[in-house]
Structure 1
Amino acid sequence: MKPFLDENFLLQSRVAEELYHDYAKDLPIIDYHNHLPPNEVAANKQFSNITEIWLHGDHYKWRAMRANGVDEKFITGAASDQEKFQKWAETVPYTLRNPLYHWTHLELQRYFGINDLLSADNADAVFEKANQDLANPNMSVHGLLEQMKVETICTTDDPIDSLEFHQAYAKNPGKFDMYPAFRPDKAMSPENGEAFNQYVNRLGEVANSDINNLQDYLDALKSRHDFFAQNGCCVSDHGLSHLYAEDFTETEISNIFTKVRQGNDLTLEEINKFKSALLLHFAEWDHEKNWVQQFHVGAFRNTNSGSLKKLGPDTGFDSIGDYSQGLGLVKFLDRLAAKEKLGKTILYNLNASDNDLFAAMCGNFNDGTIAGKIQYGSAWWYHDQKDGMTKQINSLSNIGLISRFVGMLTDSRSFLSFPRHEYFRRLLCNIFAEDIVNGELPHDMKWIGKIVQDICYYNAKAYFPFKKQG
């Protein structure tokens, strides 16, 4: 019986151990998509306790606590941070076989040197030890990222964001680079007319322009796209139910924009046409600048209306959707390819039944100009765990080229989430090693070790056109 979470965790053979420890373990991290708050990076925030850094904003943990019968008071409510930590510690033993069990103990080990299993019995001691460590200046935001050998992070930012914190950090950077990513979801969402019009008004203020018609709106958005580029951005991201690819005319889109600006409700057909048009504009702008565009598709958002009203979005009430994905993907990507305006693209699916579809779709639009130009992105959200990652790796291996994969990202709001890269690397090494042991791959450690290193770091290094800061 192997010990839990030892140095060879997830590594089931000597070959796997060699691949991980000799090739993957010590590589830097390029985390090209996350939701870290840039203000806390710029300020090099020092956290007051482990609850603040570990539980505030972590909807993965919140969902587990609710499932374990914990009252909302101890999750997002008015309970003290120590009380909230106590309730999380009581929940952890019940997360067996959930990725939270692994992540929790990896993070306790890597950041705090705590090897004990967290439970109600040792919650106070762990809380005290972690808080003492977090008081150390080396455990500030910068210290935590540097400890994990993070080289680059890309945050997620709305077009109307000022990027003031990215600018402040760029003037005095630490040992890692921080770049914004252009996330224009609100800009293409007219289904809530009141919220959309407020957004358009705010965009006009930020872009210092009067928005009287569709062209004014597009010009203002393009100016923000340019502004993001001036501040180091080379990545966009879209969170969508599916790829919108309705047929439309520019006159139709102009009329739809005027209609919603006049306070009139739109039909579903009009909403989908507007989204389709805006999505194409964004993609063409990305192509002009050689940006990497990312599409995260397939989530059911804000499913619990009562909890949305009480707690707001992104509080743990989104889940896997069952949208039809194939036709929209084909039409959207083909429109861009036909115009020779399809740039580097990463596709992420949330429903695992679409794995092979997405892996195959990428191959339809690779054109030989760039290795791995159209990427099947890493296992996302609910699939960011052992089984989900294995399935995504196998689909990509079977249908595309796993060797050109740009690897892992955290997609997290937590500065303690970076051991997820270690988790991915261990799993990847074990998968390759299993094929070697079974005689399905040659025992060529030099070449396969290089492929592992490429997936873990070097492919992303070559793929993203980051410009060094400082």
Structure 2
Amino acid sequence: MIKNKTFITDDFLLENKFAQRLYYDYASEMPIIDYHCHLPPDEIANNRQFENLTKIWNDGDHYKWRAMRTFGIDEKYITGNAPDKEKFLEWGKAVPYTLRNPLYHWTHLELKRYFDIDLLLNADTASDIYEEATAKLQTSEYSCQSLIKKMNVEVICTTEDPIDSLDHHVKIKNSDFNTTVSTAFRPDKAIVISNDTYLEYLEKLSAVSNVNIDSYKSLCDALSVRLDYFAENGCTLSDHGLSYVPFRAFTDAEIENIFQKRKEKKQLSLEEDEKFQTAILLFLCEQYHSRGWIQQFHLGALRNNNARMTRILGPDTGWDSIGDYSQARTLSSFLNALDSKDKLTKTILYNLNPSDNEVLATMIGNYNDGKVKGKMQFGSGWWFMDQKDGMTRQLNALSNMGLISCFIGMLTDSRSFLSYPRHEYFRRIVCNLFGQEMQRGELPQDFELVAQIIQDISYNNAKEYFKF
């Protein structure tokens, strides 16, 4: 294929000599610690070889799906049963019209970094790009494990439910694959008691834990069994995807009554729902502290908005958006309840609504106690904020309200094996941010000082914080 030079040049996003030096000499070669993602561990364990470009690039990618729907592409080419190449050709038609959406940047970064394809993807080039990339995917250099190695990924932390067997993680650990693949404990299905499938989930949790869950206490016992199991298999992190962190005062008797009421399939009030969530979250977070784990909270998503399409396609198919929940008061009360017992472990707070950036950036400062560097973290911009403007706003809020020098940096939060150039994207943005201020005289032109912070944000801080 004839190579055409695209806008993804060596100096992409690097606007001056300071930014360029910071990136080339200090950030670009740092290994990647992807401390939160949703990569399928079975595909890593079995070193999956993808059949074609659609399978690895479009399947499961709700970012692309939303763009294609907006462009007027029929669902059969998105999640439907159209042939894989036809699906990709439809995506190719849409790509030029994603200008100024991060998809345009990601698409061409990924084509260049993984497949050495410099062409702009459009209706005219889509077929050739599909054939060239698909041919490469058939070689051993493009298996899942090879793609991870190609991007210099040192650590991957996937996300699993308490009922997961972790068999795939064990298989990876016992293999000769050098990248560390760990897991994060995500017990949301045991927390959100109002979910329609809650009682069905309890049956599964009961079976895997060998605990008869007939009370709130036995639910806690079952979760403790699974916490121990995850810890035995190397887990040191938890994760929660919540609209907001609730906090309501409760008594033990109230929580038991709420649990029994749900077991009897009776409707719960919002107050009862939030009391139960408060109780079980406090229990879990104290458990994390006792084990020396790190806890993560992804806050602010409004999920499954389109009821009709969610019924047809299921959750996580592109019908989510940013929510406008009140975060500060209950989050502070919750963290304070843990801190008052000296049971607040290392915590990462991720925010989806940019209007709450300063709220979370200042919240973490309330609970840093000097015991651990950067104990409380305002996490990287995620989901809809995982783009140039969103990352910059998060970086600026953290810089203004806290210490950017202690920041643990980027993660992919992705299900795609082609998502690792997002770390490069992030590092270029960070280097450009610092480089611009060095040029303007707002920061000293001291590369020893600034470069150390760039490398810390890119890799060193995460290495120290997580201790994988």
* Cα distance in 1 between the residues matched to 2:434 and 2:34: 23
- In the alignment, which residue of structure 2 is the partner of 1:373? 375
Alignment of 1:304-319 (within 5 A): 304-319=306-321
- Aligned mates of 1:152, 1:122 — CA distance in 2: 35
Contact 1:293 1:345 in 2 (8 A): yes
Q: 1:108: which partner in 2?
A: 111
Q: Distance in 2 between matches of 1:271 and 1:356?
A: 28
State the TM-score, normalizing by the size of structure 1: 0.98
* RMSD, aligned CA: 0.9
The range that moved more, 132-141 or 400-409, is 132-141
Does residue 117 of structure 2 align to residue 143 of structure 1? Answer: no
Write the deviation string for residues 197-245 of structure 1: whole angstroms up to 9, x where unpaired.
1111111100012122111111001110111111111111000010111
For 2:465, the equivalent position in structure 1 comes to: 463
Instruction: List aligned pairs for 1:161-200, cutoff 5 A.
Output: 161-193=164-196, 195-200=197-202
Question: What's the CA shift for 1:192?
Answer: 2.9
2:56 is matched with which residue? Answer: 53
Partner in structure 2 of residue 261 of structure 1? 263
Of 91, 95, 103, which residue of structure 1 is paired with 2:94? Answer: 91
Contact conserved, 1:234 with 1:465, CA < 8 A, in 2?
Answer: no
Is 1:354 the equivalent of 2:351? no
Q: Distance in 2 between matches of 1:380 and 1:147?
A: 24
Q: Is the 8 A contact 2:22 2:451 kept in 1?
A: yes
Q: How many residues align?
A: 464
CA deviations over 1:97-131 (Å, ceiling 9, x no partner): 00000000000000000000001111110010001
- Which consecutive residues of structure 1, in runs of 5 or more, have no partner in the other structure? none
Deviation at 1:465, TM superposition (A): 3.0
Tell me whether 252-261 or 141-150 shows the greater mean CA deviation.
Answer: 252-261
User: Secondary structure, in 3 states, of the residue corresponding to 2:414?
Assistant: coil
SS in 2 for 1:156: strand
Aligned equivalent of 2:245, options 243, 257, 261: 243
1:21 aligns to what? 24
Q: Is the 8 A contact 1:211 1:217 kept in 2?
A: yes
Relative to structure 1, the CA distance from residue 26 to residue 56 in structure 2 (aligned partners, 3 Å threshold; closer, same or farther) is same
1:390 corresponds in structure 2 to 392
The aligned amino acid for 2:185 is F
Does residue 275 in structure 1 map to residue 277 in structure 2? Answer: yes
Matched residue type, 1:458:
N
**Mapped partners of 2:220, 2:172: distance in 1:** 29
Alpha-carbon distance between aligned partners in 2 of 1:453 and 1:435, rounded to the nearest angstrom: 17
Post-superposition shift, 1:400? 0.2
Distance in 1 between the 2:134 and 2:195 partners?
Answer: 43
Counterparts in 2 of 1:214-233, with a 5 A limit? 214-233=216-235
Aligned to 1:82: 85
- Equivalent residues of 1:99, 1:386 under 8 A apart: yes
SS in structure 2 at match of 1:180: strand
Are the aligned partners of 2:6 and 2:120 in contact in 1 as well (CA < 8 Å)?
Answer: no
Aligned-partner Cα distance in 2 for 1:263–1:233: 34
* Candidates 334, 351, 367, aligned match of 2:336: 334
AA matched with 2:70: A
Distance 1:32 1:248 in 2: 34
**What SS class does the counterpart of residue 318 from structure 2 fall into?**
coil
Q: Give the TM-score normalised by structure 2.
A: 0.98
CA 419–199 in structure 1, closer or farther in 2 if over 3 Å, else same = same
**Of the candidates 402, 409, 412, which is equivalent to residue 411 of structure 2?**
409
The answer to whether the Cα contact below 8 Å between 2:22 and 2:431 also exists between their aligned partners in 1 is: yes
Tell whether the 8 Å contact from 1:404 to 1:459 is kept in structure 2 after alignment: yes
Q: SS of the residue aligned with 1:309?
A: helix
Q: Distance in 1 between matches of 2:246 and 2:174?
A: 39
Distance in 2 (CA, whole Å) between partners of 1:121 and 1:179 is: 42
Shift of 1:57: 0.3
For 1:213 and 1:389, the matched residues in 2 are separated by 44
Residue identity opposite 1:256 in structure 2: I
Q: Deviations over 1:231-269 (max 9, x none)?
A: 111111000010111111111111111111122221111
| Alignment check: 8 A CA contact 2:44 2:145 kept | yes
State the shift of 1:45 in Å: 0.5
Per the alignment, residue 63 of structure 1 pairs with 66
What amino acid maps onto 1:459 in structure 2?
N
Mapped to 1, the partners of 2:369 and 2:309 lie a distance apart of: 46
Q: Which runs of 5+ in 2 are unaligned?
A: none
Q: Is the 8 A contact 1:291 1:465 kept in 2?
A: no
Q: Which runs of 4+ in 1 moved over 2 A?
A: none
| Structure 2 counterpart SS, 1:409 | coil
Deviation at 1:274, TM superposition (A): 0.7
Partner of 2:159, secondary structure, is coil
Distance 1:22 1:6 in 2: 17
Q: How far, CA to CA, are the matches of 1:122 and 1:369 in structure 2? A: 55
Provide, for residues 337-364 of structure 1, a one-character-per-residue CA deviation record: whole Å limited to 9, x for no partner. Answer: 0010001000011100000111000001
Amino acid paired to 1:54:
W
Quote the sequence identity (%): 55
1:336-394 deviations in Å (ceiling 9; x for gaps): 00010001000011100000111000001100000100000001111111111010000
Aligned partners of 2:37 and 2:412 also within 8 Å = yes
